């Protein structure tokens, strides 16, 4: 009999670090790669971590946008496929390719830096009345 792996629903910020009580939503007979997506009972789940020894697969739910956003321009890097906003975008290099932390889809990005100027008064030029 092949080994059974339990797909466990993780809480936000939770990772598979111990063999504790888990919310098992499905069992399968192989260990998937981290970052694949499953559809289980009509819901989408992203594999965020695996724990081979315990036979556990940690997943988080997500949803794809109905339409892919073509050119997003947001304060943080935002996934065109699921809308996930990466609040650690500042850690990325100025441009390149990355994958979404929530749905695993790949995207290209470029950091747009806006330039602003500040000014403070120093000396007002005098007017000579003639």
Q: What does the binding site for Zn ion look like in residue numbers (CB under 5 A)? A: 79, 81-82, 84, 100, 102-103, 105
Q: The dihedral of CA 3, 33, 18, 21: what is its sign?
A: negative
What minimum distance in Å lies between the beta carbon of 62 and Zn ion?
A: 7
Cβ proximity to Zn ion: between 54 and 72 the closer is 72
Q: Which residue has the tokens 């971590």?
A: 49
Cβ proximity to Zn ion: between 50 and 105 the closer is 105
What minimum distance in Å lies between the beta carbon of 17 and Zn ion?
A: 24
What minimum distance in Å lies between the beta carbon of 103 and Zn ion?
A: 3
Dihedrals φ, ψ of 89, to 5°?
Answer: -55, -30
Cβ proximity to Zn ion: between 108 and 114 the closer is 108
Question: Alpha-carbon Rg of the chain, whole angstroms?
Answer: 24
Cβ proximity to Zn ion: between 21 and 108 the closer is 108
Q: What is the DSSP letter of 127?
A: -
What minimum distance in Å lies between the beta carbon of 23 and Zn ion?
A: 22
Write the CB contacts of 9 (distance below 8 Å, at least 6 apart in sequence): 22, 23, 24, 25, 45, 59, 60, 61
């Amino acid at each position: 009999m092949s080994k059974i792996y339990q797909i466990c629903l993780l809480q936000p910020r939770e990772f598979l670090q111990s063999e504790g009580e888990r919310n098992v939503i499905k069992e399968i007979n192989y260990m998937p790669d981290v970052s694949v997506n499953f559809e289980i009972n009509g819901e989408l789940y992203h594999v965020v971590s695996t724990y081979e020894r315990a036979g556990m697969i940690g997943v988080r739910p997500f949803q794809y946008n109905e339409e892919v956003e073509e050119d997003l321009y947001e304060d943080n890097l935002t996934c065109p496929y699921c809308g996930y906003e990466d609040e650690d975008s500042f850690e990325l290099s100025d441009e390149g390719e990355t994958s979404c932390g929530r749905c695993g889809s790949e995207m290209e990005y470029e950091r747009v830096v806006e330039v602003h100027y500040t000014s403070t008064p120093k000396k007002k030029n005098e007017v000579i009345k003639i």
